[in-house]
Chains A and B, each alone.
Chain A
């Protein structure tokens, strides 16, 4: 008996509809993860984007960002035409121009600079996935003033890792998800790399391993941790050093590992006041010395068959005293200042918890030792029948990186890994090829004025790894050679440059004035700058005498109407990621995994419907117009007339080495090195748009000392020779800077830098309070303030995406519930957040899972009114906000009147997370209240149209309803 009067109506469900006319593979660009994607096209439009199941990064999965790619591709914020500024800077008054005029203008500006003083071009790129091209282009142009965004991103992790273990966390290494029994993660939000970490955590937890997350905020990955350590920001180093203290105290360390794979046994000269104090004692060949127990002699520490002593003073033939680096390390961390009881309060982590964590680490490392039945041969040719593993893995990222003490903190973490014997062993942290590389890679930065000449490429790259003061980019009088002061005494090891200081320094004319600032995909007038409001003033400030802008010319390339567009004089509109060629190169930031080396391409899957061009295409064209030798034949014709794709396939950086490592050689059958293959891109397309070389099981661990791996890495062109890569527990180059600060050598820091250098360039990690904390009154600013980006937006370019902004359409300031209640604050209250630099008014939410002394918010949700072609009433600008306004790019003035960068004094890493604040109620709730500061609404520029009425994307794909109205420009 049926109650249904309509029971005869049976829906005919089409369970097998056609999904696509065509599926094209390419690479995602919704964040830095660079997953493989299958783009389903129907009627020439994007119907569906799916993860590529064969791809080494994502193995078929796709995150929220990648799945929202359709809305990025069809975003109404897309620029449509080259623009030249006609109103005042910031007015966003532009005139549309043709590409010819745009390119001619840029070529004229840049050509004049190149003919006179190439340094007057500052070329900085933001979310650049073609850094091997842009860096090389800058070098060809002849300017040292180039970097990507690493300085304000995570150079601390890269620099600390590369100088210490020749690799890094980041996307350059990964935990052994399959074998780890204990996993500690420090300061990681979505971060590098997105999908592999999620997949790995799923695997790890399902296997039953313990996961500890050290993070002031309990969201995302921290939410599924077995144990959340809600640490006080900036104190991770103390916690790590206390763990080291406990392990040393109990002798729970892997001495064999330290002897075999680290410089722990190397002998350090103890001769206080001498010019070689703290350096390694070396033999006539320059090899470091060890004291061999077997022979009773001083021998080269690089020899294989020795038994070095680890503790005890030795006297060199010349009478100087030497001591193993290991002993210095033990002396440092056994000190009571690093005992759990001494650090607990400062870290906000109970001493008992620290002691238990140390015991758990030791238990996992030494009681759960694993052995894989895989034979391998070490660097000295000795065969081993097993791969022994200590199943403790670590991963760390921005949370320890974005502090002024981040370099040492990251180094301390690597030392913790070393003493547990858990780097590139089964169950531990694993290098992703092409890492490990020598510590650090043998590449020096170039850019002193004697290396910069008109109409001449520089003799090397603008970025690299200084080994001592002689490698700095400073002039004879100590003045920085670069506009961002990277590789100067301000931040000697700023391996990724200091993009966050470019606008400030260029505006100030310190160390010199520039002519043109050329930016790509870097939102420097908004969420990518500290002191965003001040940056806007600098971008628009004029010279009183001439009325000219202090930064005379700004060229900007972006696919979207970001806030930065309004501050440029010439706009070169870029394409979306589905409309372009690209290469994800091993010369740049690879997409490898611990078992294999890989690279990939983007191919255009849809044609642009606007007058836009891929930025890299434009750069190659500009290079040819400027006559850059690498892009121009001797007869003046273009070297790569086919543009970027031509360059990708045919450019050789060194003989046999090009942007892509796969399918090289005339027959496309060579891996790594080989002649250029004109059909290389088709080979990639046929292979799913990527290439991967898988290493044999015997090559997959101990890569730093594994003969099979090292020789294969040489063959593939990753490293120059197959010597073992020795972990630098003690980093000698740091001591060289310190000696210079003590007055030794030819290149010494200016007087007022000496103490700073001498203190901070300690060859063993130490903890110091974040610099802002020591420069402000912490009673006045009792709290820490942090940002993170939500998983659904991490690294995505523009949260204006119609789907993603429904997940995060505005941000709130989050505060510990108990702390808030103590202060009489409630969810929904408007509060002032005040730092030494400024204040913002924002709306509060209380939550349980945050360190009691910390407030935090989602970053880059706040938008300027009118930008991104959002309506001015968008919640992103009405209620959303940036913490950037209260973070200064400089520290408070020193007693000597210098304003140092708000950065790590070693690497120049922007210290975003050092900021101290106080919180005060702003007012009673008022309807319609908005966040502060607010800025004038940006006028629209030439973009695609914003749909009026509902957005009904996809309705057109329902073939059974051909007359379905389609939303959009109705």
Chain B
């Protein structure tokens, strides 16, 4: 019901998230919450902030609130191959966002100039259709404000002339201790982020849905835990004694290997 921009620029601002080095520390999520608490969609309302009433979202964790970025932990495989994978999830700023086209009021929209998907809180009626339409669970309903909120890609930061140029990136990117998050123009094949996606096999989430998410994830690198993966052998060969080229066995023979070593301090 809401149309996508007609004369959109080729610019597709988005995030590239490196799952190979994300340790699941939640720095991105909390710094996002902190920045946005005073930002474009402020506040990031919290309920039961200091108590434990049952929550309406069925979660018994007591406190809950609006977060634009959440880090999930998954397990894959079992036994020797068991892996823990941390997966930060936020709006992917899709090229074909169903959350926008489903919006009955025009509140949910995609910016022509950079592709950022935003919500105009002044005309959002809180019908939640967009959160049903979003396949990625990226929308956050503020029941106190009665409006939908979501990741703004820090639109109040990335162009902000009151900030030093180096700080004009989303909060999650600037704070990530492991440098697992990158920001840039994925519409420009020569941008750093596009090159990173190219070199690391970055992928889209659920491309089959055809929402064409702009954000990309870099897969974990293959784990090197097999014989020879780093060049080492399966096991070390026992040292030979100096005398007879036989494998040294017995402590006395082993020690012989070092008896004649001429070593200077």
- A64, A304, A806, A809: residue with the most chain B Cβ atoms closer than 10 Å: A806
Distance in angstroms between the alpha carbons of A831 and B108 in the assembled complex? 47
* Inter-subunit contact A223/B51 (CB<8 Å): no
B3 contacts chain A at the CB level, 8 A cutoff = yes
A residues in contact with B221, CB < 8 Å: 205
B residues in contact with A946, CB < 8 Å: 50-51
B residues in contact with A809, CB < 8 Å: 52, 61-63
B134 contacts chain A at the CB level, 8 A cutoff = no
Known contacts: A806-B64, A869-B50, A874-B52. The answer to whether A201 contacts B38 by CB under 8 A is no
A70 contacts chain B at the CB level, 8 A cutoff = yes
A822 contacts chain B at the CB level, 8 A cutoff = no
* Inter-subunit contact A251/B84 (CB<8 Å): no
A260 contacts chain B at the CB level, 8 A cutoff = yes
CB of B154 to closest CB in A, whole Å: 10
The residue from A61, A334, A358 contacting B236, defined by CB atoms under 8 A apart: A358
What per-residue 1/0 map shows which CB atoms of A109-140 lie under 8 Å from chain B? 00000000000000000000000000000000
* Inter-subunit contact A330/B263 (CB<8 Å): no
Interface residue stretch chosen among B90-98, B177-185, B187-195? B177-185
Closest to A850 in B: B82
* Inter-subunit contact B238/A250 (CB<8 Å): yes
* Inter-subunit contact A791/B251 (CB<8 Å): no
B160 contacts chain A at the CB level, 8 A cutoff = yes
* Inter-subunit contact B263/A308 (CB<8 Å): yes
Distance in angstroms between the alpha carbons of A876 and B52 in the assembled complex? 8
Distance in angstroms between the alpha carbons of A6 and B3 in the assembled complex? 10
What per-residue 1/0 map shows which CB atoms of B207-219 lie under 8 Å from chain A? 0000000000000
* Inter-subunit contact B38/A42 (CB<8 Å): yes
A306 contacts chain B at the CB level, 8 A cutoff = yes
* Inter-subunit contact A806/B63 (CB<8 Å): yes
Within 8 A of B (CB), among A858-888: 869-871, 873-876, 878-879
Chain B interface helix/strand/loop/mixed: loop
A residues in contact with B229, CB < 8 Å: 210, 226
* Inter-subunit contact A219/B84 (CB<8 Å): yes
B43 contacts chain A at the CB level, 8 A cutoff = yes
Known contacts: A62-B175, A307-B262, A310-B263. The answer to whether A848 contacts B50 by CB under 8 A is no
A195 contacts chain B at the CB level, 8 A cutoff = yes
* Inter-subunit contact A871/B255 (CB<8 Å): no
* Inter-subunit contact A873/B239 (CB<8 Å): no
A198 contacts chain B at the CB level, 8 A cutoff = yes
* Inter-subunit contact A957/B42 (CB<8 Å): yes
* Inter-subunit contact B42/A223 (CB<8 Å): no
B residues in contact with A194, CB < 8 Å: 177
A residues in contact with B44, CB < 8 Å: 953-954
A202 contacts chain B at the CB level, 8 A cutoff = yes
* Inter-subunit contact B162/A19 (CB<8 Å): yes
Distance in angstroms between the alpha carbons of A697 and B193 in the assembled complex? 33
* Inter-subunit contact A259/B235 (CB<8 Å): no
Closest to A256 in B: B263
A residues in contact with B234, CB < 8 Å: 352, 355-356, 359
B243 contacts chain A at the CB level, 8 A cutoff = no
The residue from B33, B51, B160, B254 contacting A871, defined by CB atoms under 8 A apart: B51
Closest to B257 in A: A251
Interface residue stretch chosen among A9-17, A491-499, A532-540? A9-17
The residue from B175, B237, B259 contacting A312, defined by CB atoms under 8 A apart: B259
- A18, A67, A203, A358: residue with the most chain B Cβ atoms closer than 10 Å: A67
* Inter-subunit contact A358/B235 (CB<8 Å): yes
Closest to B48 in A: A871
* Inter-subunit contact B239/A249 (CB<8 Å): yes
What per-residue 1/0 map shows which CB atoms of B151-166 lie under 8 Å from chain A? 0000110111111001
A727 contacts chain B at the CB level, 8 A cutoff = no
The residue from A9, A225, A251 contacting B120, defined by CB atoms under 8 A apart: A9
A783 contacts chain B at the CB level, 8 A cutoff = no
Within 8 A of A (CB), among B20-65: 20-27, 29-31, 33-40, 42-47, 49-53, 60-65
B204 contacts chain A at the CB level, 8 A cutoff = no
What per-residue 1/0 map shows which CB atoms of A248-273 lie under 8 Å from chain B? 11111001100110000100000000
* Inter-subunit contact A848/B79 (CB<8 Å): yes
* Inter-subunit contact A227/B264 (CB<8 Å): no
* Inter-subunit contact B255/A360 (CB<8 Å): no
Interface size in chain B (residues, C-beta < 8 A): 106
CB of A615 to closest CB in B, whole Å: 25
A residues in contact with B235, CB < 8 Å: 246, 352, 355-356, 358-359
Distance in angstroms between the alpha carbons of A355 and B233 in the assembled complex? 9
Known contacts: A62-B31, A226-B225. The answer to whether A951 contacts B65 by CB under 8 A is yes
A364 contacts chain B at the CB level, 8 A cutoff = yes
Known contacts: A51-B175, A805-B62. The answer to whether A205 contacts B21 by CB under 8 A is yes
CB of B55 to closest CB in A, whole Å: 10
A847 contacts chain B at the CB level, 8 A cutoff = yes
* Inter-subunit contact B43/A955 (CB<8 Å): yes
* Inter-subunit contact B255/A327 (CB<8 Å): yes
* Inter-subunit contact B230/A210 (CB<8 Å): yes
Distance in angstroms between the alpha carbons of A205 and B163 in the assembled complex? 31
* Inter-subunit contact A356/B118 (CB<8 Å): no
A residues in contact with B75, CB < 8 Å: 847-849
B203 contacts chain A at the CB level, 8 A cutoff = no
* Inter-subunit contact A15/B156 (CB<8 Å): yes
A residues in contact with B111, CB < 8 Å: 13
Known contacts: A64-B27, A223-B86, A359-B233. The answer to whether A951 contacts B166 by CB under 8 A is no
* Inter-subunit contact B220/A224 (CB<8 Å): yes
Known contacts: A198-B25, A224-B23, A803-B33. The answer to whether A870 contacts B265 by CB under 8 A is no
A residues in contact with B35, CB < 8 Å: 48
CB of B146 to closest CB in A, whole Å: 12
CB of B168 to closest CB in A, whole Å: 10
CB of B132 to closest CB in A, whole Å: 18
The residue from B29, B52, B62, B230 contacting A64, defined by CB atoms under 8 A apart: B29
A947 contacts chain B at the CB level, 8 A cutoff = yes
Within 8 A of B (CB), among A45-101: 47-51, 53, 58, 60-68, 70, 76
Distance in angstroms between the alpha carbons of A836 and B105 in the assembled complex? 65
Distance in angstroms between the alpha carbons of A70 and B43 in the assembled complex? 14
* Inter-subunit contact A310/B177 (CB<8 Å): no
A residues in contact with B223, CB < 8 Å: 225-227
The residue from B34, B65, B85, B232 contacting A49, defined by CB atoms under 8 A apart: B34
Within 8 A of B (CB), among A917-970: 946-947, 950-955, 957-958, 967
B109 contacts chain A at the CB level, 8 A cutoff = yes
* Inter-subunit contact A803/B175 (CB<8 Å): no
* Inter-subunit contact B25/A957 (CB<8 Å): no
Distance in angstroms between the alpha carbons of A119 and B170 in the assembled complex? 55
What per-residue 1/0 map shows which CB atoms of A198-219 lie under 8 Å from chain B? 1101110110001000000011
Closest to A817 in B: B78
Distance in angstroms between the alpha carbons of A481 and B83 in the assembled complex? 50
- B40, B64, B225: residue with the most chain A Cβ atoms closer than 10 Å: B225
A residues in contact with B126, CB < 8 Å: none
A residues in contact with B34, CB < 8 Å: 48-49, 67-68, 70, 803
Known contacts: A224-B21, A250-B239, A362-B232. The answer to whether A307 contacts B176 by CB under 8 A is no
What per-residue 1/0 map shows which CB atoms of A1-34 lie under 8 Å from chain B? 0111111010101111111000000000000000
B residues in contact with A817, CB < 8 Å: 78
* Inter-subunit contact A249/B238 (CB<8 Å): yes
7 closest Cβ contacts across the A-B interface? A954-B37, A871-B51, A251-B239, A250-B236, A6-B106, A363-B232, A957-B38
Given A223-B24, A227-B225: 13 more A-B contacts, CB < 8 Å = A48-B34, A50-B167, A198-B23, A201-B178, A224-B220, A255-B263, A260-B264, A310-B259, A359-B236, A360-B231, A810-B60, A848-B77, A955-B42
Q: List 26 A-B contacts (CB under 8 A).
A: A17-B162, A62-B27, A67-B34, A68-B30, A70-B37, A205-B21, A206-B21, A210-B229, A221-B23, A226-B224, A227-B223, A227-B224, A249-B238, A249-B254, A255-B261, A260-B265, A330-B251, A359-B233, A806-B64, A806-B67, A810-B62, A818-B78, A849-B82, A849-B83, A874-B50, A947-B49
